[in-house]
């Protein structure tokens, strides 16, 4: 059976995502951010310094200063982005959580698509 494609249907770029990554320091976040943007796994990586994160680790409640990265990427690049983050990250279990961008400025979403790998 021959598969036909309607020539009036425009192919949509991959789903845009926001990825949250926490790090132990601003320097670590900058290193990871530069790597994923340079490799075009992300269009942008914002680094925010958090005053405190409260979490459980190895049966204890911990309170530590951390940084939060807000990374703009595409769903089809998530696995490779995740591998790169893990390779550069100091944590045994780093937070690498993707959230779909369900709506956004068309110009901004196109910018994400244009500034990540094809």
Tens of pLDDT, residue by residue over 74-107, are: 999 999 999 999 999 999 999 999 999 999 999 9
Q: What is the pLDDT of residue 14?
A: 78
pTM for this structure?
Answer: 0.86
Q: Which CATH number fits domain 20-114: 3.30.70.980, 1.25.40.10, 3.30.70.120, 3.40.1000.10?
A: 3.30.70.120
For residues 115 and 43, is the Cβ–Cβ distance under 8 A?
yes
Q: Which residues contact 43 (CB under 8 A, 6 or more apart)?
A: 37, 72, 73, 111, 112, 114, 115, 116
Q: Where are the alpha helices (DSSP H) in 1-118?
A: 26-38, 78-88, 106-114
Q: Where do we find the tokens 């425009």?
A: 10
């Amino acid at each position: 059976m021959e598969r036909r494609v309607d020539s009036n249907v425009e192919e949509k770029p991959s789903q845009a995502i926001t990825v949250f990554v926490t790090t132990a320091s601003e320097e670590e976040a900058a290193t990871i951010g530069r790597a994923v943007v340079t490799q075009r796994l992300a269009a942008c990586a914002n680094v925010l310094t958090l005053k405190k994160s409260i979490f459980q680790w190895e049966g204890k409640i911990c309170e530590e200063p951390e940084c939060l990265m807000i990374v703009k990427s595409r769903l089809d690049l998530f696995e490779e982005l995740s591998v790169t983050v893990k390779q550069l990250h100091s944590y045994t279990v780093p937070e690498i959580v993707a959230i779909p961008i369900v709506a956004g400025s068309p110009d901004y979403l196109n910018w994400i698509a244009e500034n990540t790998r094809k």
